[in-house]
Every structure is written in C-alpha cells, then in structure tokens.
Amino acid sequence: MARVMRNAVVITMCALALLLFVGRRRFPKVQSSELARNSGLNGEQAKTKEIDMARDFAPKTKLTARHDGWRLILVNCDHPLADDFLDSVTLKAIHGTALKVDERILDDLEQMLGDAKNDGIDLEVYSAYRSFQRQKVLFEQGVKERVSNGMKRDEAEQETATWIARPGSSEHHTGLAVDIATPSHQGLDESFRGTAAYQWLLKNAPKYGFVERYPQGKVGITHINPEPWHYRYIGRDLAPLLEASGLCYEEYFECYLAPIFESTNLSQEI
C-alpha cells in the first residue's frame, strides 16, 4: 500500500513539474508582467493565470510552419514582409467586387458576409489586398499632410505609422486582412464601434476565422491605433481561442505560435 502511495506521489510530482515546464516555455516572462499590469494581479496570481491560459487557449490541433505558416504569419513594423512574399500568394476577387484576397480565405469570408446578411446585417468590404506600391502612396499622403501642418518629416512618419502601416509591414499585403464597414456607416473610424455591424462582427467573426487585429488597450504592443474595422484571417480553429484569450495577435503569436517557427524560416516555408 505504501509503495502505491509513493508511486502516486511521484507521478503527481512529475505531472506538476511537466505542467510548470510547459507553462513556462509557452509563456515568456513578459507575458506575466503584461497580465499583471492589465488585470491588476500580483506576480504570483498572474503566474497562476498564465498556466490556466496555457491550458485553455493553446491551439487544439497540431500546427506546422509548412502547412499553416501562410495564415499564421505575423506582419507588423518589427516583422515586415520579404520583397518576394507576394510570389507565394494567389489572389482571388471577392464576389461582386474588384477587391482581392488570398484565395484560401475566400470561402470563409464570403460565408461570413452571407450569414451576416441572413441575420439582417449588411457588411461591406472596403479594402482587402493592397500592393506595396499602393501602401507607399497612402503612407506618403499621410506624411505629407502632417508635414504641411508643420510637423517635422521624421515626426510625421512616426505619427503616420500609428494610423497607416509602413509599406511592407501592412497585413493588407498578405491578402489575409480586410477592412469591413456597413453601407450606412462607410467611414473607417472609431464610431464604427457603435454600429450593429460591429457588434455582429465582434460576436461572430472568430467563427469564420477572423479576428479584430488592433483591439483597444493593445496599442503599446501592436503600435497601431484601435481599428474596429480591420479583420485578419488566422483560421476557424485559432480565431475563437485568440478572441477568448483577450490577447492581441502579437501576444498570442509569441505565446503559442512562435515555437512552431523557431527552427524554420517562415518566408521560405510558405
């Protein structure tokens, strides 16, 4: 009997050690302090929460850079796309529009738009794939506007970059991002948050694989002001997990997805 008890204790200890090891590996230290800051938890409570999150929000399917890298790619000012990235993407027009997306997300996007319509919500895509050249023009327009208002060039570039991604670091280059509004509220601005269309997206977009990419409260990490209209495809399996975690994509990527790419070069994989 004593031996059974001893074995049970050893097995439990091993399981706990493994859980702590996995939790720590998946969650870099920055995550703990981030959680503590966001939720008012002290260091120990934040650590406990980390382990809960590691269990609850981790991908439930096996992901590999080769098969899933195309939809997991992290694009931001610190991770600009390689010049030859577009050679690996096939674009296809969204039904009834001239706007294009990566053909692999088209079915999910069109199903989302169709199901919204069935719920009485008119969603319209205002922007989808955008070339480097087009992004350059938009960025330059933003800079010029600020310079003409008296800002210095480098200041104007920095300020513009919080609204319009620098060429090469926009998700719109990937064909995985769409700007969505509704015909009764065409402007892509903060007040879109007050519409029924936004409320529908908030509740339903993750089911179709899309997440609100630049949420409120995460500007310090994304370096992009909140954009309730900008949705990024990451897949039907991951979007609900990311949404439930309360993390932004940079955080989720660092916690759960970066290890997949640790030993591989993503731009070569996809």
Residues near Zn ion, by CB under 5 A: 179, 230
- Asked if residues 72 and 260 have their Cβ atoms less than 8 Å apart, the reply is yes
CB of 221 to Zn ion, least distance (A): 17
CA nearest to 142, candidates 127, 157, 126: 157
CA nearest to 255, candidates 245, 264, 265, 240: 245
Q: Which is nearer to Zn ion, 54 or 123 (CB)?
A: 123
- Asked if residues 23 and 58 have their Cβ atoms less than 8 Å apart, the reply is no
CB of 213 to Zn ion, least distance (A): 8
Q: Which is nearer to Zn ion, 31 or 174 (CB)?
A: 174
CB of 8 to Zn ion, least distance (A): 54
Q: Which is nearer to Zn ion, 192 or 261 (CB)?
A: 192
In the block, residue with structure tokens 């990937």: 174
CB of 109 to Zn ion, least distance (A): 14
Residue 211 bridge partners (DSSP): 232
Q: Which is nearer to Zn ion, 49 or 100 (CB)?
A: 100
Q: Which is nearer to Zn ion, 179 or 212 (CB)?
A: 179
Residue 92 bridge partners (DSSP): 101
How many residues belong to the chain? 270
- C-alpha span between 64 and 3 (Å, rounded): 42
CB of 230 to Zn ion, least distance (A): 4
Which residue number places its CB atom closest to Zn ion? 230
Q: Look up residue 12 and give its two tokens.
A: 């439990």
- C-alpha span between 177 and 211 (Å, rounded): 10
Q: Which is nearer to Zn ion, 173 or 230 (CB)?
A: 230
CB of 248 to Zn ion, least distance (A): 15
Residue 100 bridge partners (DSSP): 93
